[in-house]
Amino acid sequence: MSENRSDLPAKHPAGAHEDLHAKHPAGAHEDLTVEKVIIIGSGPAGYTAALYTSRADLEPLVFEGFQWGGLLQQTTDVENYPGYRDGVMGPEMMQELRDQAERFGTRFVTDDVTRVELSQDGSPHKVYVGDSEHLTRSVILAMGAEPKKLGVPGEDELAARGVSYCATCDAAFFRDKPTIVVGGGDTAMEDATFLAKFAKDVKVVHRRPEFRASAIMLERARATENIELLAPFTIDRFEKGDNGALARVVLTDTGDGEDRTIDIDGAFIAIGHRPNSEIVEGQVDTDEDGYVLVEGRSTRTNRVGVFAAGDLVDRTYRQAVTAAGSGCAAALDAEAYLRDKPVDAEAHWEPDLEKLEAAAERAASS
């Protein structure tokens, strides 16, 4: 379950090397060490990439962001990450992932990367925190995607106390309870259909008269006995009960302006995600919503030596374990790239082993 970010753990965990970037002001290129791999982001994808690259002796430098630990820092119970039979609290799990990566020598900077200059030809990429510059042979992008919020009263306060942004994660906590899903697209219909297996009933609330979900998803929701579609309504506010948890939602009918109050225990916000891809915009290929595009099942972006993992590339699964899995894949892709590097830029894209080997030989003899 999600919880208010004011409860986040200390911003600067033990072991954070916050002074790393201060040593390298922009413009002093000659003095800069060229890192083998820089990882940007510190959710399950970033920390798993750090674990694998540090165990491969690549001495990763992780820019973990000011809000280190990613989305699971906003969560209480995580019951679906393998290996935790009795579940685990989100922040505890992220501290464990971080500690495990640190054990093998990962270095951390607990700050946000403000800008990158990704090279096109295999020369070092540049990563900036403010004015301080870092050079690196490879980059793993793992900045995640933020769920969009409604921005209504009660939403933040009741996050993790009934308001959720992840039906796959939290639906099972609402067995036989009245719930709503907010949204009108495929994700909202999918969330509602999944939630309906557990909840007493699910009202899908949408602000426009027409749902924009695909016909098949809409039909599936309509055919489910305990799902009701409510439109056009906006969410005015969420209200808590005596126990401090979500108890009611107040809706406004956008037709006649009348308010309608519904008793609920759970509200699932399904109005989309915003990938944190601003810093690479215009440099790596993204889709129309800003998700970073990778080649096939690999984590390779269109820039040589630049890899992407986790929710930043994933509009479908968005789970901690899938993010961790792709963080592992990015680390292995980066390792393979560095092993064959320096090679010509085309070799990055070249699945042909012979050509790869030839490129590596060329590089070794140059």
Ligand X SMILES: Cc1cc2nc3c(=O)[nH]c(=O)nc-3n(C[C@H](O)[C@H](O)[C@H](O)COP(=O)(O)OP(=O)(O)OC[C@H]3O[C@@H](n4cnc5c(N)ncnc54)[C@H](O)[C@@H]3O)c2cc1C
Of the pair 100, 319, the CB lying nearest ligand X is at: 319
Q: Does 112 bind ligand X (CB under 6 A)?
A: yes
Q: Does 65 bind ligand X (CB under 6 A)?
A: yes
The DSSP-derived string for 221-278 is HHTSTTEEEE-SEEEEEEEE-TTSSEEEEEEEETTT--EEEEE-SEEEE-S-EEES-G
145 three-class SS: strand
Q: Does 319 bind ligand X (CB under 6 A)?
A: yes
Using the contact rule CB under 6 A, the part of the chain among 189-197, 210-218, 259-267, 320-328 near ligand X is: 320-328
294 three-class SS: coil
Q: Are 269 and 150 in contact (CB under 8 A)?
A: yes
Per the annotation, the verdict on 169 as an active-site residue is yes
Q: Does 4 bind ligand X (CB under 6 A)?
A: no
Nearest distance, CB of residue 358 and ligand X, angstroms: 36
Of the pair 26, 364, the CB lying nearest ligand X is at: 26
One of 124, 147, 185, 275 touching ligand X (CB under 6 A)? 147
Of the pair 170, 335, the CB lying nearest ligand X is at: 170
Spatial distance between the Cα atoms of 167 and 171, rounded to a whole number of angstroms: 5
Q: Does 74 bind ligand X (CB under 6 A)?
A: yes
Q: Does 89 bind ligand X (CB under 6 A)?
A: no
Per the annotation, the verdict on 170 as an active-site residue is yes
Closest Cα partner for 45 from 144, 112, 165, 168?
144
3-state helix, strand, coil split of the chain in percent (to 5) is 30, 25, 45
Q: Does 2 bind ligand X (CB under 6 A)?
A: yes
In this structure, the strands spanning 259-263 and 246-253 are antiparallel
Of the pair 323, 359, the CB lying nearest ligand X is at: 323
Q: Are 13 and 68 in contact (CB under 8 A)?
A: yes
Q: Count of alpha carbons within 13 Å of 242, Cβ hemisphere only?
A: 0
Q: What DSSP character marks residue 174?
A: G
The active-site residue, picked from 86, 111, 169, 328, is 169
Of the pair 192, 347, the CB lying nearest ligand X is at: 192
Residues that are catalytic:
166, 169-170
Give the residues lining the site for ligand X (CB under 6 A): 2, 40-46, 63-65, 67-72, 74-75, 78, 80-81, 112-113, 142-144, 147, 165-166, 169, 276, 279, 310-312, 318-321, 323
